[in-house]
Amino acid sequence: MDLSLTEAERDLAELCRQFATKEIARRAPAAWERAECPTDLLREMGQLGLLGMLIPEEWGGIGMSTVGFVAAMEQIGLADQSVAAAWQAHVTIGSLPLYLFGNDTQRERWLRPLAEGHVLGAFGLTEPEAGSDARNITTRAERREGGWLINGRKAFISNAGTDMSFGVTLLARTEPAEGGAPRFGSFVVEKDTPGFSMGPKLRGIGWRGLDTRELYFDDVWVPDEHLIGDPDLGMGQFLATLEVGRISIAALSLSLTQAVLDLAIEYAQRRQQFGRPISQFQAVQFKLADIATELEAARWLTYRAAYLRDTGQPFLKEASMAKLKASRVATAAASEAVQIHGGVGYMLDSAVARFYCDAKVLEIGEGTNEIQHVVIARALGC
Ligand SMILES: Cc1cc2nc3c(=O)[nH]c(=O)nc-3n(C[C@H](O)[C@H](O)[C@H](O)COP(=O)(O)OP(=O)(O)OC[C@H]3O[C@@H](n4cnc5c(N)ncnc54)[C@H](O)[C@@H]3O)c2cc1C
């Protein structure tokens, strides 16, 4: 297994490194402070082709490999996790359902503007009473003459409420109201559709720049062309999309871990106590060595999951393992990095504190870590 980057993947990572250090690192902290989604940065990333990362050129993307996407994420997330979170949600769960399961007309109409970076994509699965238990969703799409009538509510949906959002691809029950075996279909609902509304931007511990909201659907009528694929196969489509999303969250976790490791090393070499830099104390050195070692282990799991996807092999278990390991490493590393910074690291003005706040959600989003355990255990035959 060769995990070295190709020339195209290296070039992409370098492009992302330059944009991240020149633009994101400079502008994103203010967006974090204002708790606003920095769509100006996302639009510029679109102009660089970064919003169509995993979509072939035929549909407006750059057709990058998953390995290349992970390498690009390592650079973007190093600069700011909110921008990276919005970006990855768009690239994976926000765009892939249309690419993987839409027909050519739907790809032309909705996927191309997403991939070319004109609009931002959103994925509507979670509901107030259905998070981990996705099959418990109650949003319903009822068959009507020439289309579908959608009623329900979605919770914690990212990227649907910005000035760059196009709407949402959502999952709804499609079995008749009178009952029958549960069935699910996925539908595109554009933002100005009558009956579609949303709540205010939610306030998280971290990812303060990410736009996450509740969405409401009251007698929203969409024509048949808005149904993606088979009206009964939506759940499988959404779960398949989440597999890629998990590699993406793992990559985001790598970038956070690298960021806090870099900050902790730099601070430990600069901060003097007892007449010497704290980096000379073995207790501090061992923390740094542990973070670096765990990061490397998580990195290999993540690149391997990406490699399996790129080579057409099953990657369900490996994506869950990568997400589980990398997110745990990230939260532990962020905590230790704050510890190394002492009181300075506790203050929200410090970069390490912001990364600490951003870390926790990595263990929750796109399937909690408990659900990753369930997926892995099932793959082991339990
Ligand atoms: C910032 C943010 C952005 C998000 N963006 C999106 C988005 O764009 N689109 C979208 O659809 N969703 C999104 N989500 C929702 C996210 O996917 C859910 O929060 C997540 O899947 C968990 O669901 P829940 O919050 O309802 O928790 P619950 O499912 O209620 O879980 C609560 C606790 O119970 C545990 N638990 C549940 N079931 C089991 C089990 N079988 N075994 C063991 N433990 C279990 C969980 O692990 C967790 O610890 C976002 C969430 C956040 C915080």
198 lines ligand 1 (CB under 6 A): no
Please compute, for residue 161, the number of CA atoms within 13 A of its CA located in the half-sphere on the CB side.
22
pTM above 0.95, yes or no: yes
**Local structure of 364: helix, strand or coil:** coil
- Cβ atoms 139, 196 nearer than 8 A: no
245 lines ligand 1 (CB under 6 A): no
pLDDT of 29: 86
State which ligand 1 atom lies nearest to the alpha carbon of 367.
21
CA of 293 to the centre of ligand 1 (A): 29
204 lines ligand 1 (CB under 6 A): yes
pLDDT of 305: 98
pLDDT of 107: 98
CA of 370 to the centre of ligand 1 (A): 10
- Cβ atoms 16, 72 nearer than 8 A: yes
238 lines ligand 1 (CB under 6 A): no
Query: Is 108 noted as a catalytic residue in this protein?
Result: no
Pairing of strands 123-124, 167-173: parallel
pLDDT of 45: 98
> What domains does the chain contain, in order, with CATH numbers?
7-115 (1.10.540.10), 123-232 (2.40.110.10), 235-379 (1.20.140.10)
- pLDDT tens string for the chain (382 positions)? 777 999 999 999 999 999 999 999 999 888 888 999 999 999 999 999 999 999 999 999 999 999 999 999 999 999 999 999 999 999 999 999 999 999 999 999 999 999 999 999 999 999 999 999 999 999 999 999 999 999 999 999 999 999 999 999 999 999 988 888 999 999 999 999 999 999 999 999 999 999 999 999 999 999 999 999 999 999 999 999 999 999 999 999 999 999 999 999 999 999 999 999 999 999 999 999 999 999 999 999 999 999 999 999 999 999 999 999 999 999 999 999 999 999 999 999 999 999 999 999 999 999 999 999 999 999 999 9
Give bridge partners of residue 120 from the DSSP assignment.
165
CA of 133 to the centre of ligand 1 (A): 9
DSSP annotation string for 298-350: HHHHHHHHHHHHHTT---HHHHHHHHHHHHHHHHHHHHHHHHHHTHHHHSTTS
pLDDT of 28: 87
301 lines ligand 1 (CB under 6 A): no
Write down the catalytic residue from 74, 318, 363, 366.
366
Say what the alpha-carbon torsion angle 370, 375, 377, 379 is, to the nearest 10 degrees: -170
Task: List the alpha helices (DSSP H) in the chain.
Answer: 7-19, 25-34, 39-47, 66-79, 81-91, 96-101, 104-106, 112-115, 234-270, 282-310, 316-341, 343-346, 351-359, 369-379
Distance, in Å, from the CA atom of 241 to the CA atom of 109, rounded to the nearest integer, reads 20
